[in-house]
Chains A and B, each alone.
Chain A
């Protein structure tokens, strides 16, 4: 994964935003795209859009965001970027869901939770569920960035131990044998990775 290798990790979301507004800064846009397109993609899928539509909606949103940032349509003073982005993604997804419902008429089969979410989305005051999904996706996006960062920082062996033990839930002895380390090292590595992730996420949580 070389995606972030070239971008200074100190970059905060705010400075990333201003960097993206600079049309020549393709690296910033690339990092920005990695972060937000993934997030929007997962978000609109979870609102019930099937893959094909979700891809198009995601792309639409990102094209719009790109244009808005270049033209200065998004004004940081008016509110948070993520809230603004949420509005765009939600509205586009809603439009696509409506179009889809019109297309499929009676055969409308929502994905898990899709129908409920659609009903809630249509009532602007009650889109709490969608907002929660959005928040959760933001957390996932941050964690993904954190993992990228931590993976490079703690060393391959430590990260592997963490993956096998904490994520894949392999028995500790099994992990220790496989990596040729002691069981206590597995615990230590796990703790180290988690601490690093927390530390990284903490930096951006309130950004």
Chain B
């Protein structure tokens, strides 16, 4: 610190370029006596100038703005906004109530949580999503008022919704053991559908429609919030391997559950699921021990229940609209939320259109033989990728960095089938996972057989099966999840030839043991797996 020796202004010149750092932890030494500072040798003045030097050195840390690492922002200023209190928080962001100090109006501001604030990639996406949301101007979409920034924290400023979310309203109704009047439910979802329809018109898909993202005002107006949030989450969870942020998949469309392309019809499905809950009091698919994966499996493969069976007085036209919006195939639903809204508003007149969608008989709609047929025409690399994706879906919900590594290697193998060594390293990677050792050893064994017969396809398939099996084993706590992943493995292997089938045997036995253990301990988890899934060809 330049305290005493550089009192001469000329000698002190070098210090000019390094004003005292804002480093706050440096206790200031006692002032020295003697002549100091330019001008008269007044100790009081020396002291004053030294202190001022400290103060000015600290200035590049703007006061009043939040420290970049602060986990709570109440009382701080972000631009012209004064942060008042926390309204809610999700996996990555927090929403605060704030006041615009220039006009006194209240607003909601959304900021990323501390670990994400410094991630440039996430920040960019955060703002891009807000940018796309700002393009939608509709009375049923929460409006973006602008951006604010201070101390390295960027915030999206949105209009404040005063009456909480539809989730809260539903919980209130449920706690009183009441049901929402049908008319109110239809009115609310029609508003939501119109807002989302406006987004669809601009080519934007919401991706995360659910009651907690539909916000209410005191006058009953509903506005859609949180565009693109799940998009953010999805991409980052792949990167970080942390899967807990997915939230409840109770409203996810089948194509989202299976990682396929998301279209406006996906939002229609989620709207339909929300409408289902408003009418009946619970989402279309529920399992007792809510395993997200079991619910996703149901979204993919189980036909939606009929709301008329769950509540009396549901008009036929409304039931057909709900069922049409909950069709498994996007093409069978309303193409956009706008059309869905129109159908709801048209009421009974719309039922004729909806009824034309023929209902399939109840039961499993996704048959393993169908999957196998689809897979047969594909090159083995595509099959590996598919199996890895199945496995990833499980991994997504039950993240294990070791499985993540194994999957990454399996995928790499799929694209470099010439490299037999890579296939071995996949199985070696799998063998490091203790719970998987037996299964992966068999995979390694199968690999050897396959390599000996110079069949890269089989080796790749067994790698895929090992990956899927790995995933199956990492969700031991839910039989339905394991069943799905095991089914993936089996399907991959059914199209393989003899050496790989040995692994299939092991995978199947593993699965049975797993399921027996589950049943022995806790009774049935999810739906039992039809035996046809395990039929063995000679």
A55:B63 contact, CB within 8 angstroms? no
Which residues of chain A from 139 to 155 have any CB-CB distance to chain B below 8 Å in the complex? Answer: 139-140, 143-144, 147
In the complex, whether B39 has a CB less than 8 A from a CB of chain A is yes
Contacts of B70 in A (CB 8 A): 55-56, 58-59
Given A56-B71, A59-B71, verify A42-B12 contact (CB < 8 Å): no
Of B53-61, B275-283, B402-410, the stretch lying at the interface with chain A is B53-61
Given A26-B99, A27-B101, A194-B45, verify A147-B56 contact (CB < 8 Å): yes
Of B23-31, B139-147, B258-266, B417-425, the stretch lying at the interface with chain A is B23-31
In the complex, whether A76 has a CB less than 8 A from a CB of chain B is no
Given A46-B24, A59-B72, A112-B25, verify A37-B99 contact (CB < 8 Å): no
- Complex Cα gap A54–B27 (Å): 16
Of A83-91, A95-103, A163-171, the stretch lying at the interface with chain B is A163-171
Given A26-B82, A34-B64, A59-B72, verify A147-B39 contact (CB < 8 Å): no
B69:A51 contact, CB within 8 angstroms? yes
In the complex, whether B173 has a CB less than 8 A from a CB of chain A is no
Given A33-B77, A56-B71, verify A170-B9 contact (CB < 8 Å): yes
Contacts of A27 in B (CB 8 A): 101
Of B13-21, B210-218, B295-303, B305-313, the stretch lying at the interface with chain A is B13-21
In the complex, whether B249 has a CB less than 8 A from a CB of chain A is no
Given A38-B64, A58-B67, verify A197-B48 contact (CB < 8 Å): yes
Which residues of chain A from 161 to 180 have any CB-CB distance to chain B below 8 Å in the complex? Answer: 163-172, 174
The count of chain A contact residues (Cβ–Cβ below 8 Å) is 54
**Residues 19-55 of chain B, each 1 if its beta carbon lies under 8 Å from chain A, else 0:** 1000011111000000001110000010011011111
A163:B56 contact, CB within 8 angstroms? yes
- Complex Cα gap A205–B1 (Å): 27
Contacts of B38 in A (CB 8 A): 165-166, 169, 172, 187, 190
**Which residue in chain A gives the minimum CB-CB distance to B99?**
A26
**Residues 2-36 of chain A, each 1 if its beta carbon lies under 8 Å from chain B, else 0:** 01000000000000000000000011011001110
B16:A113 contact, CB within 8 angstroms? no
Contacts of A26 in B (CB 8 A): 82, 99, 101, 104
For B74, give its contact among A66, A174, A197 (CB under 8 Å).
Answer: A66
Which residues of chain A from 83 to 135 have any CB-CB distance to chain B below 8 Å in the complex? Answer: 111-114, 133
Given A169-B13, A169-B16, verify A55-B67 contact (CB < 8 Å): yes
Given A169-B6, A170-B13, A197-B48, verify A59-B25 contact (CB < 8 Å): no
Contacts of A41 in B (CB 8 A): 24, 67
Given A26-B99, A33-B76, A143-B51, verify A113-B27 contact (CB < 8 Å): yes
In the complex, whether B378 has a CB less than 8 A from a CB of chain A is no
In the complex, whether A158 has a CB less than 8 A from a CB of chain B is no
In the complex, whether A184 has a CB less than 8 A from a CB of chain B is no
- Complex Cα gap A140–B63 (Å): 12
For A168, give its contact among B15, B72, B77, B82 (CB under 8 Å).
Answer: B15
A170:B76 contact, CB within 8 angstroms? no
Given A56-B70, A167-B56, A169-B2, verify A30-B27 contact (CB < 8 Å): no
**Which residue in chain A gives the minimum CB-CB distance to B63?**
A38
In the complex, whether A68 has a CB less than 8 A from a CB of chain B is no
Min distance, Cβ B504 to any Cβ of chain A, angstroms: 49
- Complex Cα gap A81–B77 (Å): 23
In the complex, whether B10 has a CB less than 8 A from a CB of chain A is yes
In the complex, whether A63 has a CB less than 8 A from a CB of chain B is yes
- Complex Cα gap A55–B67 (Å): 6
B25:A46 contact, CB within 8 angstroms? yes
Given A169-B13, A190-B39, verify A42-B52 contact (CB < 8 Å): no
Min distance, Cβ B256 to any Cβ of chain A, angstroms: 36
Which of B16, B24, B45, B99: most chain A Cβ within 10 A? B24
Contacts of A112 in B (CB 8 A): 25-27
- Complex Cα gap A45–B22 (Å): 11
Given A3-B63, A58-B70, verify A170-B16 contact (CB < 8 Å): yes
Min distance, Cβ B76 to any Cβ of chain A, angstroms: 7
What are 5 inter-chain pairs, A to B, with CB distance below 8 A? Answer: A26-B101, A63-B74, A147-B56, A165-B38, A187-B39
Apart from the given pairs A33-B64, A46-B24, 19 other A-B contacts in the complex at a CB distance below 8 Å: A26-B99, A41-B24, A55-B69, A59-B66, A59-B71, A59-B72, A59-B76, A60-B72, A62-B75, A111-B25, A139-B51, A143-B51, A144-B58, A165-B9, A165-B38, A167-B53, A169-B15, A169-B16, A187-B38
Binding site for A on B (CB under 8 A): 2, 6, 9-10, 12-13, 15-16, 19, 24-28, 37-39, 45, 48-49, 51-56, 58-59, 63-64, 66-77, 82, 99, 101, 104
**The 10 nearest A-B residue pairs measured at CB:** A34-B64, A169-B12, A55-B67, A45-B24, A38-B63, A168-B16, A42-B24, A55-B70, A55-B69, A143-B55
